[in-house]
Amino acid sequence: MNPFSAPADRRAGTLCPLAPAEVLSVNRYARFRHRLRRTVIQLGERVARPPEEPPAPEASWPLPPEPRSVPRARRLVRARLAEWGLEEQSEVAELLVSELVTNALDHARGAIRLTLRCQDGLLRCEVEDAHPAAPRMRRARDDDESGRGLYMLDLLACCWGSARTPAGKAVWFELPVDALSEDRVA
């Protein structure tokens, strides 16, 4: 007699026509099926779930609204990029960050924040200040001592822009990093 075709009241009760050894093997089979089904479901969840990516390396520092913040910003950028293994981007990043910090000191009042982030093959540098107006490129004459910072940003960065923040604005630029360096950062 097939144990799976027996009526439910006869399988569970004492009226079961199976010998005790046969009942035990049916229970083992049921437990095995249950474990197998649970394992398949867990494996399916692991396959369907994308692997978690490590968080992008990020560093952020407040800077006082003082001229000494410009060389401090350059030192912070140099040290962090060396820590991340991105020394090849250090010179350009230091130059552009110092321009953005200088612009923030010249045109805004209040605290400044410098943020560095490396993600998706790009190094992103942001300088946040309390002035809400977006920066504008202006035409500098040959004898002007200022007005060329955004042109340098436009020439050396792969992309740049500004975004409003609750406290003012953030001016940012991005520099490409090679795949080998990006592996060292992660």
The tens digit of pLDDT for each residue in 22-68 reads: 444 455 566 666 677 777 777 666 655 566 666 778 999 999 999 99
Q: Give pLDDT, residue 150.
A: 77
Q: Assess whether pLDDT exceeds 80 at residue 81.
A: yes
Q: Is residue 1 part of a domain?
A: no
Whether residue 161 is contained in a domain is answered as yes
186 is a domain residue: no
Q: pLDDT over 70 for what percent of the chain?
A: 63
Lateral strand order in the sheet of 112-119: 58-63, 112-119, 122-129, 168-176, 159-165
Look at the chain and report how many structural domains it folds into: 1
Residue 15 within a domain: no
- Beta pairing partners, 123: 118, 175
pTM assigned to the model = 0.65
45 within some domain: no
- Note the pLDDT of residue 68: 95
Mean pLDDT score, 154-178: 89
Per the domain annotation, does 124 fall within a domain? yes
Q: Is residue 48 part of a domain?
A: no
The CATH number of the domain holding residue 90 is: 3.30.565.10
127 belongs to a structural domain? yes
Range of 168's domain? 61-135+149-177
The amino acid occupying position 39 is: T
Closest CA to 180 of 79, 81, 85, 82: 85
54 DSSP 8-state letter: P
Q: 111-146 pLDDT, tens per residue?
A: 899 999 998 889 999 999 998 887 776 676 666 555
Task: Tell which residue, 158, 169, 177, 150, has the closest CA to residue 96.
Answer: 150
Mean per-residue pLDDT over the chain, rounded: 77
